[in-house]
Structure 1
Amino acid sequence: MSGNRALRQKEADLGLTHAELARRVNLHIQELTGKPGTVSERTVHNWLTGTTRWPPAKIRFALGAVFGCGPEHLGFLPPDGAVKRRAFLASTAGTAMAVAGPAQRRIGVGDIQRLQARFADVIARDHLHGGRKSIEADALALAEEAIALQQAGSASQRVRGQLYATAAAFTSSAMWAAIDGRRFDAAQDHHRRASSLAAMSGDPTIAFRIWSHAGSMYRHLGRAIDAQAANDVARGLSITRRDPLFASLGHARHAAILGLTGDPNAVRRAIDRAQEALGQADPAADRPTWITIHYDQAELDSLALAAHLALGSFEDAEARAHRSLAALRPHMKRSRGITTARLARAQLGQGDIDHAIHTAMSVAADQATHPRIAGMLASFGRSVHELAGAGGNARTWDQWAYDTRRSIA
């Protein structure tokens, strides 16, 4: 049978009808562009017969998201030379006119670097505050700009891949802001879109970030099995074999997840592996800003702290908390608030109510209203009441909580 045999086989492997394939492609186009796709059964027929040899960019990348591979692996053949230029102009003229005006321009690395420079500000704000809808919205807006650049002019395949990796990174930051803000439905939506963009880019570095974030998301939801599965995807990517820093972060987050399973031996093994890999990482290696600004010994100790808290190993948790706080870099204000709240919980778990309350009250007022920290402090307050009843300790805590809320209102 002539035509596109590779695509026909892929469609058969997934058991898809032409109508179902069209539906899935349209859903991915909507995720990418915000507008419904217009792929029909006739469109699919044209792909399979070879009438359409190289679909438009947004369709190529949507197909890649459906099948998990690039267009060449799906039997599509990119045109070259003048044919390629005419095909590109024909497929993007309308959008290019709207985005870039009547004259096309060449999209290059400089365009990506300008977007990433603005993204650095989003990351900085995230470490100061975290969880805010404004951070989520700004990250998504940058992702949309990266996607719009795909249609704004011509570019090499390498640059196009970098654009999709950039859009995936921005969407992943929106995902993390939603996780931090306890907006888990939005976080899961962002994960679906970010993972599609990462698949289009073929960049294992951003794929690691997205799946590692997914593991953290499911951990915060208390879904240990899903968390392990997502984090295993991250840990299995090639970047963890090439760079020990990524391997270390994967193991450290795995330890925090394993804390939910109640297996102290597995937690210790994961922490030891994280520590060993961190010791092997070259501090001078060229890496994305998102990992170099975030992951270090302090974060490893923070994740170990979370693991020990989940296990109920409060002495080990307190030791890790002190180590993390001592090593935290100045810009990690949100992390300081989270670690301090966890330290208070570890002290309370050992029955040291006075010390625990003093520690919890040291959380800065602007951090105490952060959604995740506020939830931790509310849980801490309930535990104080359970242990202290309506005595002086409980009244002291209630007064501080009331005054803090008023100072921020």
Structure 2
Amino acid sequence: MRRRDFIASTTGTAAAAIPMVGQRRSVGMTDVARASASLNQLIEADDRQGGHASLASSALKARAKVLELQQRNAGERVRRALYALAAEFTTIAAWSCIDLRDLDTAQAYLHESSTFAGLSQDPPTSMRVWVNMAMLAYQRKNWPEQLAAARAANASPAARRDPFFGSMGRVRLALAHSSLGDLRAARRALGAAQENYRKAADERRPRWTAFYGPAELNHLAAIVLNRNGQPAEAEAMAHRALAKLPTEFQRNRALITCQLASAQLHQGEPEQATATASTVFAIMEGAQLPGRMRTLIGDFHRDLFRLAPSTTYARDWADRMRDEWSRT
């Protein structure tokens, strides 16, 4: 067979074997924008009521549509943007599972998300995955892994290039050091996080970063201080966080209130702490409490009955919590 005839015949065979590729419409950035339209809605739903099963399900359905688009013809920029979206949607599903305390499923999703983030070559997306890995390790009480993930977030390209992300990475280091009982290192990292945030320019960043501002920084500082036996400072930080928190962050307001109640309880103010903790249910407006929040409330309940078991307000609290638990 002559070389020219051979090339013609093999080209024709290849085209016949994959007829759909040439016929399917190419994907562009308009398709990316359309696919990402639901992303903000999912993030806003999480801001209001935290992670829940339907949120995770919606995120995975959106990811499936994005991955279907990856099967079409696309340029490198479009492919990377689609992988970033796949990572975003998978991370939302993982975060919902963390909030629900379904930690094994969250771990599986985060592994998938890290693959998509790597393929996207998008630094903020990779940063988000590392932050969530640190949070998952915290929930698992795996302190060495929490520190390793926090260090990875802190060393990421996003953190090196932008003080905003640098602040986010350093506050994760503060939390990891506090988990390991190293208060000096935790305070040092916390100070660096605050300094980096002050240096950050006011510029447009991905929608998922909206949660991170002065309120969240103070909230995380309250967690660090509560965990290291400094409840008076933790209370001050929690009050600052609540004062600065935008109204749309309903779930975060409830979480900060849990930290405030814990700080008050460990200062020997159980009645005030109980009144504070009771407001969590009103803040959530009857929505089901995410598993992570239920854990915090459960910790408060145990500490209250250890410190003031026979008081009227403790018994009233127990009745209220029982009603809320059964209703949600």
TM-score (norm 1): 0.73
Contact 1:368 1:377 in 2 (8 A): no
Q: For the structure 1 residues 108 and 311, does the alpha-carbon distance in structure 2 shift closer, same or farther, using more than 3 Å as the test? A: same
| Equivalent in the alignment of 2:7 | none
Number of equivalent positions:
315
CA RMSD, aligned part only?
2.0
- Aligned partner letter, 2:93: A
| Equivalent in the alignment of 1:328 | 245
- Aligned partner letter, 1:389: P
- Aligned partner letter, 1:286: R
Bigger relative contact order (CA 8 A; separation at least 6) = 2
Q: For the structure 1 residues 367 and 335, does the alpha-carbon distance in structure 2 shift closer, same or farther, using more than 3 Å as the test? A: farther
| Equivalent in the alignment of 1:133 | 53
- Which residue, out of 140, 162, 166, partners 2:85? 166
- Aligned partner letter, 1:359: T
| Equivalent in the alignment of 1:308 | 225
Q: Could you tell me how far 1:367 is from its partner in structure 2?
A: 5.4
| Equivalent in the alignment of 2:103 | 184
- Aligned partner letter, 1:300: L
Q: Could you tell me how far 1:240 is from its partner in structure 2?
A: 1.1
| Equivalent in the alignment of 2:149 | 230
Q: For the structure 1 residues 391 and 368, does the alpha-carbon distance in structure 2 shift closer, same or farther, using more than 3 Å as the test? A: farther
Q: Could you tell me how far 1:364 is from its partner in structure 2?
A: 2.8
Contact 1:337 1:368 in 2 (8 A): no
| Equivalent in the alignment of 1:69 | none
Note if 1:286 corresponds to 2:207.
no
Pairing of 1:2-401 with structure 2 (within 5 A): 93=19, 103-151=23-71, 153-283=72-202, 285-291=203-209, 293-365=210-282, 366=286, 369-401=289-321
Find the aligned partners of 2:263 and 2:18 in 1 and give their Cα distance: 58
**Dislocated runs of 4+, deviation >3 Å:** 85-94
TM-score (norm 2): 0.91
Find the aligned partners of 1:206 and 1:88 in 2 and give their Cα distance: 37
Q: Could you tell me how far 1:305 is from its partner in structure 2?
A: 1.0
Which consecutive unaligned segments of at least 5 residues does structure 2 have? 1-10
Q: Could you tell me how far 1:92 is from its partner in structure 2?
A: 5.9
Contact 1:384 1:393 in 2 (8 A): no
Contact 2:274 2:314 in 1 (8 A): no
Deviates more, 1:212-221 or 1:393-402: 393-402
Find the aligned partners of 1:314 and 1:355 in 2 and give their Cα distance: 14
Find the aligned partners of 1:303 and 1:90 in 2 and give their Cα distance: 59
Find the aligned partners of 1:88 and 1:319 in 2 and give their Cα distance: 69
Q: Secondary structure at the match of 1:222?
A: coil
